[in-house]
Structure 1
Amino acid sequence: MLIYKIVPAPLWRAADAAGEFRGAPVDLADGYIHFSTGAQARETAAKHFRGQQDLLLVAVEGDDLGPALKWEPSRGGALFPHLYAPLPVSAARSVVPLPLGPDDSHLFPEDVA
């Protein structure tokens, strides 16, 4: 199953240069990297990133992350994927821009559901 991380582009560029993504400030504070499923990604963007520009949507195959990926309850008791390890940038299946639409919500690729 593909899982998704919404990342400010400068953070991903730095991770790309380092070979791994250690997380955004919220991830570092919480002790794990927050991910969303395709079904959760739009709500995550609306709740935590509304109006923010220069974001990327990073897709990762969750099964490739091994036991460091935990599914834990979050919003409304829904299970969210959390990675308790750095993310190798080589694990990214795709990295695409997440542009803003006219109403300040993000425009997701059609295949993210």
Structure 2
Amino acid sequence: MTLIYKILSRAEWEAAKAAGRFEGSAVDHQDGFIHLSAADQAQETAARYFKDQADLVLLGIEAEGLGEALKWEASRGGALFPHLYRPLLISEVLSEAALSLDADGVPRLGDHLA
């Protein structure tokens, strides 16, 4: 089982839970897919895109369960990142964790990554 991750605001997550699905954040809508990260990419994603943002949630998702809608595509520096080309169903989320910020304002993922 390969775990992949999504960082999003608590408000986005609560709205998704109420709807039964996550349609994506603003940048996801802009790019046409839901941005996800592998375990070895998630901390850098947090530092680059979520610095100084409080009240964040980290979702853990089984990559294999997403089927053909999940594509591994080149992104930062040519690294392959998981991109989901459909909404994420709440039932597909295996874990959720509230994130705190370190002294530099970067979300701490640490023990939440497998």
Q: Does the TM-score normalized on the shorter chain lie above 0.5?
A: yes
Distance 1:111 1:57, change over 3 A: closer
- Return the alpha-carbon distance in structure 2 between the equivalents of residues 14 and 92 of structure 1: 14
Distance 1:36 1:108, change over 3 A: same
What do you get for the CA RMSD once the two structures are aligned? 1.0
For residues 76-95 of structure 1, the C-alpha deviation after alignment (integer angstroms, 9 at most, x for no partner) is 00000000000001111001
Query: Contact 2:70–2:84 at 8 Å: present in 1 too?
Result: yes
- Return the alpha-carbon distance in structure 1 between the equivalents of residues 70 and 58 of structure 2: 18
For residues 10-68 of structure 1, the C-alpha deviation after alignment (integer angstroms, 9 at most, x for no partner) is 00100000000000000011100000001000000010011110100000000000000
Corresponding residue SS for 1:110: helix
Q: Count the aligned residue pairs.
A: 113
**Partner residue, 2:34:** 33
Give the 4+ runs in structure 1 shifted more than 3 A.
none
> Does residue 75 of the first structure (1) align with residue 82 of the second (2)?
no
Unpaired segments ≥5 residues, structure 2: none
**Partner residue, 2:113:** 112
TM-score, structure 1 length as denominator?
0.97
- Return the alpha-carbon distance in structure 2 between the equivalents of residues 12 and 111 of structure 1: 17
TM-score, structure 2 length as denominator?
0.96
Unpaired segments ≥5 residues, structure 1: none
Query: Contact 2:97–2:112 at 8 Å: present in 1 too?
Result: no
Corresponding residue SS for 1:70: strand
**Partner residue, 2:11:** 10
**Partner residue, 1:46:** 47
Question: What is the deviation of 1:111?
Answer: 4.9
**Partner residue, 2:91:** 90
What is the percent sequence identity of the aligned residues? 51
Structure 1 stretch displaced more, 46-55 or 103-112: 103-112
